[in-house]
Structure 1
Amino acid sequence: MTFRFIHSSDLHLGRRFLNLPEPQDGNLRGRLMEARFDKIQRLGAAAREHGAAHVLLAGDTFDSATPSPQVLRQALAAMRDESAVTWWLLPGNHDNMRNAEPIWDEISRDSPDNVRALLDGDRVDLAEGVALLPCPVPVRAAGRDLTEALPRIETSEGMIRIGLAHGGVVDFADRGDHIPPDRDQTAGLDYLALGDWHGRLKVSQRTQYSGSPEQDQFKHGMRGHCLAVTIPNQGAEPEVTEIETGSFLWQDTELALHDGEDAAAALEALLPSRDRRNTLLKVRASGWAPMSGHAALRIAADRHAPEFAYLELNANGLGTLHSVADLDEIDHAGAMRLAAEQLMAEAEDLSLSEDDRAIAAAALNRLYAYAQEAAK
């Protein structure tokens, strides 16, 4: 028989994004939180589009062990509204069974008929000839391989075996708390659906991370995905289709400048031209630029920032090329000129530490920027 399902994980519903500074409009965190809820509907749509009746969530459906009643109830209501789909929720490290016990009790007691909590390692039959083998996370740091029991779970001959787990896969040779990358083979699994890694990662054709359907960090450089998985029959290689689900793109990119390059033009060439409102971008400037280049780069970043969901320029790695002409732009004489000359001398003094030289250079760049602003 052919069996189709959607593999997703790490929705982290209720995450507040306090690590991001709130822009002046005060709306970014709210937009990011709402986008995570929207993914429930998007996963349901992906299931319908691919003829799947089940969505397997491989842990961390909730960002914490104590989501607000609104977060919990609205999530269950959204899943209830996708009535053609059965949602299978596996406790992860953020919403593990011990710390989040009240959540799982409430879900088990009050959830809609199409929402199922997987609170033990017992086999669940998803359809005739299809067994789901869940590995719920009991505590935040279990300290052991939670898939270790899978090879001992018996199923009838010819039955499709699908594992569902939350944790990291590395070479299985150190502390014993990671999932071995060959677990699909040792447990006779047709597919092992994993969560915990927020990016898309294919360990093997039978062992895969879907990643979060909505990204939440500057790490993976792509929008969120889920996976549509088709298993033609027991033992057959699964067919895995990536489905882009994310609303926001988080990117961390480097802007390498060289002597004589127009810093502002280089930044503008680097910035994406489309969908800036849904893009969070960190730009790390490196190389060398004169003080005028530093100032122009900052002005360009400030000019474009309101077009983005978030834009951060980090110029700590951008060295400064000093010149007397730059000092003349600050002042020709007087106290400001003396301060600028002192800072330039410290920035170029090799007897000082690298940190002290960097502090002096940054102060000189700031003084130059103030002088340019005052001259307008």
Structure 2
Amino acid sequence: MVSFVHSSDLHLGKSFGTFPEDVRVRLQQARLESLTTLADIARTNGARHVLLAGDTFDKMTPAPKVIRGALNAMREAADVTWWVLPGNHDHVNATELWRTFTSDAPANVHALLRPEPVMLTDGVALLPAPPTERHPGRDLTDWFDDAATGDALRIGLAHGSIRGFSAEDGGASVLSFNRARDAGLAYLGLGDWHGQLQVSENTWYSGAPEADSFKHAMDPSALLVEVDGARVTVTPHPTSRLIWRASEVDLIGDEADLPLPPQDRARTLLKLTLTGRARPAVRRDLEAAFDHAAPDFLWAEAEFDGLDLVHETSDLDQIDRQGALRAAAEALVREADDQALSPEARATADAALSLLFTYAAEA
């Protein structure tokens, strides 16, 4: 029997340039700390190996501090053996990266830079398929079928897209769906898709240990893989230190509650999109509630542009009962409701009307 932890797509050194500096630092640190988490999962479950299926680094030229940080984290987990496959972001031809990595690597870290079998342990062969460029355009696992490994159990490790769905970064789908079967693999561990996915009984995308966007709904985890002869057991183990939550809220009537997570706010990135219709006072209360809660979160954003205003005479009275402001408000109502105008023009009128209500409330 052999057991190991399968993970991928750490993207160490990712810039997260759309976020404020303090948030970027937290996101980058969480990805580095995921190495410690993976080692803990292996150690707790009696696994001696961690297999990283590509894109350990976000780019071909990560800063020396990023490379050294990864190696130091692996060095500290000296009771775990690390097997690191290049991906399409950090492919084999990132020569300076892998020269530095291999020259500084401790004895428990192995870079899988060539498509040839290596012995994971006695009686267990690891077949790696390291990408040689960003989009190889061919199935780099095709050599698995005829690889000479004697009577050893065969484990495959590859990075790329499979099963006809789009790759994470738009690359071509080239890996064979049936590679594990055709090559006699006990398990095929894949990277590239950042969400966890079971392709077949013994072929899995591990997903990234930390999310990097709101794209995947499933909480990140790594896979504990246990192979006992023909029996393969795959068990997800949670890995994320940070939480990404995106919600779309469709408001009806006078609802005034936002779905704000009550717990773990300091480590949560929250994105709310509001749609539907609401009276100005309700929208104002929602915006105030969000503004009050936002500092509790690591990062929070709410999009109110899709929330249309319901215009009633009693609401206009809050602005003015007569005079120039009232006339302006009524004109904006007509524009916002005029289906002959473009959606952009109606939205502009709605936004201006919302500002009038805000000014009136603050007056």
Under TM normalisation by the shorter chain, which class is it?
over 0.9
Q: What whole-Å deviation, never above 9, does each CA across 1:102-155 have from its counterpart, x for those lacking one?
A: 010112222111111111101011111101000111111111122222112122
How far 1:91 moved relative to its partner?
0.7
How many correspondences in the alignment? Answer: 358
Deviation sequence 1:84-116 (CA, Å, 0-9, x none)? 111111111111122x21010112222111111
Per the alignment, in what secondary structure is the counterpart of residue 238 of structure 1?
strand
**Which residue identity is paired with 1:161?**
R
Could you say which residue in structure 2 is the equivalent of 1:326? Answer: 315
User: What is residue 143 of structure 1 aligned with on the other side?
Assistant: 137
Q: Distance in 1 between matches of 2:211 and 2:343?
A: 36
Following the alignment from structure 1 to structure 2, what is the Cα–Cα distance between the partners of residues 179 and 359? 48
Of 234, 256, 273, the residue aligned with 1:284 is 273
Residue matched to 2:183: 187
Q: Distance in 2 between matches of 1:8 and 1:207?
A: 13
Task: Name the counterpart of 1:115.
Answer: 109
User: What SS does structure 1 have at the residue aligned with 2:240?
Assistant: coil
**Partner residue in 2 for 1:95:** 90
Where does residue 124 of structure 2 map in the other structure? Answer: 130
8 Å Cα contact 2:186-2:227 kept in structure 1: yes
> 1:238, 1:367 → 2: CA distance?
64
1:248 corresponds to which of 242, 247, 260: 242
Q: How high is the sequence identity, in percent, across the aligned residues? A: 47
Structure 1 position 177, deviation (Å):
4.2
Partner in structure 2 of residue 9 of structure 1: 8
Structure 1 segment 200-349 matched on structure 2, within 5 A: 200-233=196-229, 236-259=230-253, 261-263=254-256, 266-267=257-258, 270-349=259-338
Matched, 1:84 2:52: no
Quote the residue 1:61 is aligned against.
Answer: 56
Instruction: State the AA in 2 paired with 1:8.
Output: S
Tell me the equivalent position of 2:345.
Answer: 356
Asked if 1:44 is matched to 2:39, the reply is yes
Measure, in 1, the Cα distance between the counterparts of 2:252 and 2:39.
Answer: 49
Q: Give the letter for the 1:200 counterpart.
A: Q
Structure 1 unaligned blocks of 5 or more: none
Q: How much does 1:363 deviate?
A: 2.0
Task: After TM superposition, give the deviation of residue 358 of structure 1 in Å.
Answer: 1.7
Which amino acid is the alignment partner of residue 206 of structure 1?
N
Instruction: Answer whether contact 2:11 2:55 (CA < 8 A) is retained.
Output: yes
Closer, same or farther: CA 36–132 of 1 in aligned 2, 3 Å: same
How well do the aligned residues superpose, as a CA RMSD in angstroms? 1.6
- Identify the range of structure 1 (140-149 vs 245-254) with the bigger mean alpha-carbon deviation: 140-149
Q: Residue 155 of structure 1 aligns to which amino acid in structure 2?
A: T
Match of 2:147 in 1: 153
Question: Is the CA contact 1:222–1:249 (under 8 Å) kept in the aligned structure 2?
Answer: no
Q: Supply the distance in 1 between the matched residues of 2:324 and 2:86 (Cα, whole angstroms).
A: 64
Does the CA-based 8 Å contact 1:142-1:177 persist in structure 2? no
The match for 1:27 among 22, 27, 36 is 22
Equivalent residue, structure 1, for 2:168: none
Offset, 1:57 = 0.3
The aligned amino acid for 2:339 is L
1:291-338 residue CA offsets vs partner (Å, 9 max, x unmatched): 111111111110110111112111222221111222221223343323
Shift of 1:176: 6.8
